[in-house]
Amino acid sequence: MFYVIGLGLGDPEDITVKGLNIIKQCERVYLESYTSILSCGQEKLEEFYNRKLILADREMVEQRADEILEGTENKTVAFLVVGDPFGATTHTDLLLRAKEKGIQTSVVHNASIMNAVGCCGLQLYHFGETISIPYWDDSWKPDSFYDKIDANLKHGLHTLCLLDIKVKEPTLESLMKKKREYMPPRFMSVSEAAGQLLEIVRNKSTDDGNKDDHHKLTENSLLVGLARVGHESQQIVACSLRDMKNADLGPPLHSLIIPNGRLHPLETEFLQQFAELDLQKT
């Protein structure tokens, strides 16, 4: 059997009883390490599970999946994922590969940022399509995700923005060498994401005469920044896009929410505790 097990939001004890019992019975246990991170670290997990974990980076999962699945026809192997197993398409691909090989599979679900964002008081059934905001560089500044934000706002829906992380990314120079070298890990903050959104908003304003209304993202639009959701050090702040650029929510992981322009009264009341402005007047 090949198990894909969700670990929840990051604390070793977030794993389900079912997931923990399976881990104890497995021949091999892999820990996926690039679509998200655990702030507690691999060592704490190994201590809690009382067993060694094999770190599975992007290269292993995407290029050496057969190595992970090897022997699962007659052995039990687990693949551990931060959050829920279906939070990333990579994990879906791994399950499909297993099925193609005739390997039995099973999934153990857990909490993820996709549902835990309700901690800020915005109601989950008011969310539209989730987007990812990638890091920009000097020659590559994609903004196609903005169209999805715009569509969500027009339909009165909130937008959850998942922020880019870079773990074990090879340097451009090393790609031309036989020996790879990797860039230091990077985790996008709400401040960095807001800075990129501000640039897009200003460009769009110039292009189409964007007006400050409930159906457009502007510098004055309300945003919600979240950090380390599910941890004791969790932080939430609600402020304008312009002010979010200066927000410091500490260590990763961060997420960003762009609420719709017309909050439900209960959403406004709950969100007010995190706000740096009077939401009743926005």
Coil, strand, or helix at residue 161? Answer: strand
CATH of the domain at 220: 3.30.950.10
Report whether 108 belongs to an annotated binding site.
Answer: no
Residue 211 pLDDT: 53
Q: Scan for tokens 């992981």, then name that residue.
A: 253
Burial class, 217, CB count within 10 angstroms (exposed 0-12 / middle 13-18 / buried 19+): buried
Per-residue pLDDT tens for 22-32? 999 999 999 98
Q: Is residue 7 part of a domain?
A: yes
> Same structural domain for residues 160 and 261?
yes
Residue 250 CA: distances (Å) to CA of 189, 235, 237: 8, 9, 12
Report whether 254 belongs to an annotated binding site.
Answer: yes
> Same structural domain for residues 106 and 124?
no
Which ranges constitute the DSSP H helices of 37-145? 42-49, 58-63, 65-69, 89-100, 113-116
Q: Which of 111, 139, 162 represents a domain boundary (last residue)?
A: 111
> Same structural domain for residues 79 and 133?
no
> Same structural domain for residues 95 and 120?
no
Q: Is residue 92 part of a domain?
A: yes
> Same structural domain for residues 154 and 253?
yes
Residue 234: pLDDT band (50, 70, 90) is very high
Q: Which of 111, 126, 150 represents a domain boundary (last residue)?
A: 111
CATH of the domain at 65: 3.40.1010.10
Coil, strand, or helix at residue 1? Answer: coil
Domain that holds residue 45: 2-111
Token duo for residue 227: 């950090």
Stretch 41-53: mean pLDDT:
89
> Same structural domain for residues 87 and 125?
no
Residue 207 pLDDT: 66
> Same structural domain for residues 118 and 257?
yes
Q: Is residue 282 part of a domain?
A: no
Report whether 163 belongs to an annotated binding site.
Answer: yes
Q: Which helix (H) or strand (E) holds 242?
A: helix 241-244
Report whether 94 belongs to an annotated binding site.
Answer: no
> Same structural domain for residues 69 and 127?
no
Q: Is residue 16 part of a domain?
A: yes
Coil, strand, or helix at residue 78? Answer: strand
Report whether 113 belongs to an annotated binding site.
Answer: yes
Per-residue pLDDT tens for 124-176? 999 999 999 999 988 889 999 999 999 999 999 999 999 998 876 666 666 66
> Same structural domain for residues 81 and 185?
no
Per-residue pLDDT tens for 79-109? 999 899 998 777 888 899 999 999 999 999 9
> Same structural domain for residues 27 and 6?
yes
> Same structural domain for residues 147 and 53?
no
Q: Is residue 50 part of a domain?
A: yes
> Same structural domain for residues 70 and 137?
no
Report whether 231 belongs to an annotated binding site.
Answer: no
Q: Is residue 280 part of a domain?
A: no
Task: Average the pLDDT over each of 55-64, 112-121, 229-238 and give the range with the smallest value.
Answer: 55-64
Residue 208 reports pLDDT greater than 80: no
Residue 99 CA: distances (Å) to CA of 2, 32, 103, 118, 273: 10, 19, 5, 34, 48
Report whether 9 belongs to an annotated binding site.
Answer: yes
Query: What integer best gives the mean pLDDT of the chain?
Result: 88
Q: Is residue 281 part of a domain?
A: no
Report whether 133 belongs to an annotated binding site.
Answer: no
Q: Which of 82, 111, 140 represents a domain boundary (last residue)?
A: 111
Give how many domains the chain has, as a whole number. 2
Stretch 205-217: mean pLDDT:
64
Q: Is residue 106 part of a domain?
A: yes
